[in-house]
Structure 1
């Protein structure tokens, strides 16, 4: 299957109820069935609902190019891990993606680099594509932000290297100071950091794409152009028509490139 030229991901976090998740998914599925850029695979779209809604959301998106995933996973594949969800179960439910290392997980649940590395290895081990969240805490220079992200990336890959795993990884760069902010980071800053992240070379057989998150919403992709491989969207995509607008921007960007 041809890789999408622009990748869009949406995390629903814990904003929606179960029924709200299904209603949102049904509206987005209708958009996906009709939008040429989604249908032809030029623009990829993945959705990360809460754990209890993964199976039902997958059914709603079946027959569309939209793929689903999870917002977290356990580093172990089975065993006495009360309250956790394993990679094998996520794969069995039809998940293709799993978000790992989000700043909120680090801050509120005290996730460490060691745990994040173990989770990334678990994802690759079970055929899931990690959406690895990287990002600096404070607004620094682009060079400093890239250096911090490189350190986080190297730490996150350590367990996968030990297990001799490889595969695709989506880097979701989300500067922590921009998460939940009224507006995303400045456009030129995003372009500089994403360009630097695209050029990172690490040991091992890993293939990276770099998407931007952190208060990303309508209008941003049109301004950034091809400085990013896509966007990782949160609350600004929780209105289906706003998400459609972002898909339209991605399609227009690709059309402009071909002209």
Structure 2
């Protein structure tokens, strides 16, 4: 088990350009001044809209914060109007790419095959896929774990080796007032961790929880996840800072265990 804990934020399409730049500046200051982020014990990534990627890269330059993209094309170039390739994202300095979110599936018809193709596109261009997995309907934990593990292997079919972050996001918890119950997350998260740990060529990979994740949750999950994937609850930089403190505590406990 790695001591490192990952905390990510997807801004979806909530912020306009000026609002996003203000948020970047505030979060960059928080991250730059956080000892656990500076040491690498806590990994931080921020995923804005495509138009906000370049100002995000500028804002987070000189900090350990990684900038990501909310989507990428299945192909690396060609006649694909409106698409953005993993090759170009990597070229400008993007480090992670969100793949397979439930909204992409529901609103834009992304299939398992498309998710697998985008996962492969991220990995072959040196991007870390933030691979979103989750059951559509609420199931008991054993059944939910079986379903998302199946999604994991489907998404990785034909992919080159490389690190990934599995974002467990039960669809029924996305946008809900509260996250999934902690005991449910612990059970499914631990099952995913076991699978990810034995994947060949995936060193450094981890499992993070998303789906109405917010401050106060990470401390209840223990070692069953390797971090959180935040959404609207990180729009307040103070809430984001609180989650970083919780992640630092988890990383410190893990460091003691792994010594």
Where do 5+ consecutive residues of structure 2 fail to align?
none
Residues 133 and 166, structure 2, Cα contact 8 Å, conserved in 1: yes
Structure 2 length normalisation: TM-score? 0.94
Could you tell me which of 168, 173, 182 is aligned with 1:173? Answer: 168
The answer as to whether partners of 2:116 and 2:156 remain within 8 angstroms in 1 is yes
Runs of 4+ in 1 over 2 A off after TM superposition: 201-208, 252-259
Offset at residue 254 of structure 1 (A): 3.3
TM-score (norm 1): 0.94
State the distance in 1 between where 2:80 and 2:133 align.
26
Which structure exhibits the higher relative contact order, with contacts defined as CA atoms closer than 8 Å and separated by 6 or more residues?
Answer: 2
Over 3 Å counting, the alpha-carbon distance change for 1:204 and 1:256 in structure 2 is: closer
CA change 1:203–1:251 in 2 (3 A) is closer
Q: Which residue of 2 aligns with 1:59?
A: 58
Verify the 8 A CA contact 2:5 2:250 in the aligned structure 1: no
User: Separation in 2 of the partners of 1:193 and 1:98?
Assistant: 23
Moved more, 70-79 or 219-228: 219-228
In structure 2, what is the equivalent of residue 187 of structure 1? Answer: 182
Secondary structure at 1:139's aligned position in 2? coil
1:31 aligns with 2:30: yes
1:206 partnered with 2:209: no
**Which blocks of at least 5 consecutive residues in structure 1 are unaligned?**
none
Q: Deviations over 1:82-103 (max 9, x none)?
A: 0000011101121000000000
How many residue pairs were aligned?
253
